[in-house]
Chain A
Amino acid sequence: MHLANRSLVTAACSAAVLLAALTGCAPQPEAGPQTKASGQAGGTAGACAPGKLATEVPGKLTVGTDKPAYAPWFSDDDPSNGKGFESAVAYAVAKQLGYERDAVVWQHTPFNSAFAPGAKKFDFDINQVSINEDRKKAVAFSSGYYDVRQAVVALKSSKAAKATSLADLKDVKLGAQVGTTSLEFINDLVKPDQKPAVYQRNDFAKSALKTGQVDAIVVDLPTAFYITGAEVPEATVVGQFPNSTDNPEQFGLVLDKESALTSCVSGAVDALRKDGTLAALEKEWLSDAVDAPVLK
């Protein structure tokens, strides 16, 4: 008797609660981004009114990047100082969009959450993210602001330092950071005999290089020169990977897939490329990244 009654009551209660939830807290179709998107930009100047974009925080431009922010992309782990290539690019893009320095708000966005499907808290994310087709299914990219080349760094004392071709790297223990194209280069181009070591952060990759747990690591060229110049002086840049000419790898700004700003931000990046700003910033912050021999 009791049992039956109780289960009846419980069932009724849970059904009621769930129904209430269904009607009460069912997420309404998002009013925010949707209405923002109504000003859908066609890349025309009218839609990208300077300083009047439909940003997360009106009147401000919220820019995401990971922490720690590595040199030479940023300087002193402080993206807001305008030093370092990506910090400078972010401020240049902001300016192009009509946002002065004080209207730019930086936000710590871990790499993994930059492509989470939920609503984004940033207007765009700048974090050395390479553009590729698979990623375009999850996020929107601006046009590329930097052409990346991947390079091999090894201790001067190791056998990897003498490599002159991709074949010379076959029997070498290589390492790279997770989520980077460096890892894809290793797997697709070198196809080494030993599985590459994969690190959560470049710091760990550097540690492993120093202690000899890996013979060489693969990073992008500016990082490679920064490592050999400032962090691990006993290492050398062995060479760079050949870049496919028809589809060069580029870093792009990451935006939410449904972001209304994509075309405006892309337009800003294109304009900066056209007027030589990007080239100047590259020269200013990444000039150490001179050429390295190409490993065929």
Chain B
Amino acid sequence: MTLHKTPPVVGTDTYTPSERRLARERHHRTRTRRATAIAATSTLVTGVVLYFLITGSPGWQRTQETFFSLHYAREALPEVLEGLWLNLRLLLMCGSAVLALGLLLAVARTLRGPVFFPIRALATAYTDFFRGLPLIICLLMVVFGVPALRLEGVTNDPVLLGGAALVLTYSAYVAEVFRAGIESVHPSQRAAARSLGLSSGKTLRFVVLPQAVRRVVPPLLNDLVSLQKDTGLVSIAGAVDAVYAAQIIASKDFNYTPYVVAGLVFVALTIPMTRLTDWVTARMDRRRAQGGLV
């Protein structure tokens, strides 16, 4: 530690990596290359073995005709896509309704103060009941039960009723997700906000909820993807969605290819949705960490 050392001249970087360092880097590179090569070979071998295992099985030809027939795939695709339009509409409408209602329920459950007890109790009872009630029973009750009441001015449309049943069940799931998020925000945040003079409403709106929602984006997406697949259950009331369109063709011709087509269509729909939310989450993280990530 000598204080009178001439500082290094800025701009003339005379650093040359030592022999040893170069050797170490070379070694790392060869190691990485080798690992990649082995992984590729292993994957290739696995693929080849699986291929021969499946196509070599005695029932393969019939399986191929029954599950992967190009003729039936062509026949099914337009019908499946037409059905998918119903799934997508339901997903959009029910998804937004579920998010709104779920958030409302979660807030109702986390209200403080004795005066709000009935609201808290009602919200708790609602989530308990509809989380536990099997969706298919909820659908049957709403879809066939409501029209049986013969109420004036209440719709008979099976799609609307089915959508309502989906909202009932899923908002209970989503409410619990939101509540977990709200309760995960540290009490000091609330205390700090209140001591700055924010009202409890403003504290919730500007301090608690933004943090809570950000934390539960992945589980919310899970529920959304799950909802997307469950929209098909509305078909119990006679409306034709993608899976049902596939089933109609499958049971007419005794061939399962339409199911495979519908399955792939759903998977293809889920992947971009996942990527989108990943991107949104990453953007939120970047914004939150404006000082740069540690």
Q: How far is the CB of A113 from chain B (nearest CB, A)?
A: 11
Q: Is the CB of B52 within 8 A of A22?
A: yes
Asked whether A198 and B53 contact (CB < 8 A) given A27-B58, A118-B59, A138-B254, the answer is no
B7 contacts chain A at the CB level, 8 A cutoff: no
Contact indicator A139/B239 (Cβ below 8 Å)? no
> Residue of A at shortest CB range from B67?
A117
A178 in contact (CB, < 8 A): yes
Given that A178-B244, A178-B247, A208-B237 are known contacts, is A30 also in contact with B58, CB under 8 Å in the complex? yes
Give the complex CA separation of A212 and B256 in angstroms.
33
Residues of B within 8 A of A14 (CB): 42, 45-46
Q: A185-208, CB under 8 A of B: which get 1 and which 0?
A: 000000000010111100011011
Please name all residues of chain A whose beta carbon is closer than 8 Å to the beta carbon of B247 when the two chains form the complex.
178-179
Among B31, B58, B59, B238: residue with most chain A CB under 10 A: B238
Report the minimal beta-carbon distance from A226 to chain B, rounded to whole angstroms. 20
Tell me if A4 and B156 are in contact (CB < 8 A): no
The residue on A at minimum CB distance from B82 is A195
In the bound assembly, the distance between CA atoms of A102 and B148 in angstroms comes to 45
Answer whether residue B252 sits at the interface, using C-beta atoms and an 8 A cutoff.
Answer: yes
Q: Does B112 contact A (CB under 8 A)?
A: no
Interface residues of A in 147-199 (CB under 8 A from B): 175, 178-179, 183-184, 195, 197-199
Q: Which residues of B contact A197 (CB under 8 A)?
A: 158, 237-239
A14 CA to B59 CA in the complex, in Å?
Answer: 25
Number of A positions contacting B (CB below 8 A): 50
A214 touches B238 (CB 8 A): yes
Check if A3 sits within 8 Å of B56, measured CB to CB.
no
Tell whether, in the assembled complex, residue B248 and residue A178 are in contact, meaning their CB atoms are under 8 Å apart: yes
A139 to B58, CA, bound (A): 17
Q: Which of A5-13, A51-59, A67-75, A287-295 contacts B (4 or more CB under 8 A)?
A: A5-13
Q: Which residues of A contact B39 (CB under 8 A)?
A: 7, 11
In the complex, chain A residues 224-251 whose Cβ is within 8 Å of any chain B Cβ: none
Task: Tell me if B65 is interfacial: C-beta within 8 Å of chain A.
Answer: yes
Chain A 74-90, CB-CB to B under 8 Å as 1, else 0, gives 00000000000000000
Hey, which chain B residues are within 8 Å of A199, CB to CB? 236, 238
**Is there an interface contact between B42 and A134, defined as CB atoms closer than 8 Å?**
no
B35 in contact with A4 (CB, 8 Å) = yes
Contact with A along B233-263 (1 / 0, CB 8 A): 0011111100010011011111110000000
Shortest CB distance A202–B (Å): 12
Provide the bound-state CA to CA distance between A10 and B58, in Å. 30
Q: Say yes or no: B251 contacts A112, CB within 8 Å.
A: yes
Docked complex Cα distance between A132 and B249 (Å): 13
User: B35 and A208: CB pair below 8 A?
Assistant: no
Q: Please count how many residues in chain B sit with their CB below 8 Å of the partner chain's CB atoms.
A: 44
Q: A135-B253, A178-B248, A183-B248 are in contact. Are A117 and B42 (CB under 8 A)?
A: no
A7 and B144 in contact, given A30-B58, A137-B254, A178-B248 (Cβ under 8 angstroms): no
Query: With A26-B57, A137-B255, A184-B252 known to touch, is A213 a contact of B156 (CB < 8 Å)?
Result: yes
Q: How far is the CA of A10 from the CA of B46 in the complex (A)?
A: 12
Q: Is A18's CB within 8 Å of the partner chain B? A: yes
A178-B244, A183-B248 given as contacts; is B38 within 8 A of A4 (CB)? yes
How far is the CB of B46 from the nearest CB of chain A, in Å? 6
Tell me whether A19 is interfacial, beta carbon within 8 Å: yes
- List the B side residues contacting A211 at CB < 8 Å: 144, 147-148, 150, 156
Q: What's the least CB distance linking A8 to chain B, in Å? A: 6
Task: Indicate which residue in B42, B148, B156 contacts A15 across the interface (CB closer than 8 Å).
Answer: B42
Question: What CA separation (Å) do A208 and B236 show in the bound complex?
Answer: 11
Residue of B nearest to A25 (CB): B53
Chain B residues, Cβ within 8 Å of A10 = 42
Q: Are A7 and B35 in contact (CB under 8 A)?
A: yes
Task: Select one of A15, A18, A29 contacting B53, CB under 8 A.
Answer: A18
Contacts of B203 in A (CB 8 A): none
Known: A30-B58, A112-B251. 19 other contacts (CB 8 A): A4-B35, A7-B35, A11-B38, A11-B41, A15-B45, A18-B50, A26-B56, A26-B57, A27-B58, A111-B251, A117-B65, A117-B67, A134-B252, A179-B248, A183-B248, A184-B252, A200-B235, A213-B147, A257-B62
5 closest pairs, A vs B, by CB? A197-B238, A179-B251, A11-B42, A138-B254, A211-B147
Binding site for B on A (CB under 8 A): 1, 3-4, 7-8, 10-11, 14-15, 18-19, 21-22, 26-30, 111-112, 115-118, 132, 134-135, 137-139, 175, 178-179, 183-184, 195, 197-200, 204-205, 207-208, 210-214, 257
